[in-house]
Chains A and B, each alone.
Chain A
């Protein structure tokens, strides 16, 4: 089944404790992206990647890191989480990033709480 998977689905952590949220897709998509969803704000892009070893900042990159060493994986790293990073996070992928009419496929989401 074609899908985007994220782990963990739920995470409660404390301020300053490094964490990684994994994202993997099995559709051989070039483009991957991370969004955060906050009430009343919709989804905002954190980082995106157009292909292996090619990443760039989105609209709200502060406090986050990403890497793209393999085509299928795009982990989101919070080196020192803070309470304002409490949010619902979505990973998405799509083929051929230059074609912005392509549908993006979303993972199930990771609900992160930073105490």
Chain B
């Protein structure tokens, strides 16, 4: 069974500071990995995904994430936070073998607060 752990349910940064949101996964096979963002009162939007190509993945809005197999991690970063980045972020995994029929297993979510 797969699982995802996001360290820190709340992260607060200053505008212009580095954003680092942590995600660790547990899986019997190297999974596909996703980061989604949820703005207030909206659905989830894909930020980026890892599907076994390049280990450093660039996404929208200046975010990127690095897949580290040895650490079973897929942390999300952004060099300089903007007020508009304030949202809840979810890390998710799916099983590439196809047996889970596309199911996403989500982490608990991390609420990012950006203050001036």
Binding site for B on A (CB under 8 A): 4, 31, 33, 35, 40-45, 48, 50, 56, 58, 90, 92, 94, 97-104, 106-109
* B94 adjacent to A100 (CB under 8 Å): yes
Binding site for A on B (CB under 8 A): 4, 6, 9, 32, 34, 36, 41-46, 49, 51, 90, 92, 94-96, 98, 100-104, 106-109
* B98 adjacent to A100 (CB under 8 Å): yes
Given A42-B90, A42-B109, A100-B32: A48 and B103 within 8 A (CB)?
yes
Closest to B97 in A: A100
Q: Is the interface of B mostly helix, strand, loop or mixed?
A: loop
What chain B residues lie within 8 Å of A4 (beta carbons)?
43
* B49 adjacent to A101 (CB under 8 Å): yes
What chain B residues lie within 8 Å of A103 (beta carbons)?
34, 46, 49
Nearest-neighbour CB distance to chain B for A66, whole angstroms, equals 14
| Interface CB pairs A-B, < 8 A, 20 | A4-B43, A31-B102, A35-B106, A42-B106, A42-B107, A43-B44, A43-B90, A43-B106, A48-B102, A48-B103, A94-B102, A97-B102, A98-B98, A99-B98, A100-B98, A100-B100, A100-B102, A100-B103, A106-B43, A109-B41
* B96 adjacent to A104 (CB under 8 Å): no
* Cα separation A92 to B94 with both chains bound (whole Å): 15
Which among A4, A35, A43, A44 has the highest number of chain B CB atoms within 10 Å? A43
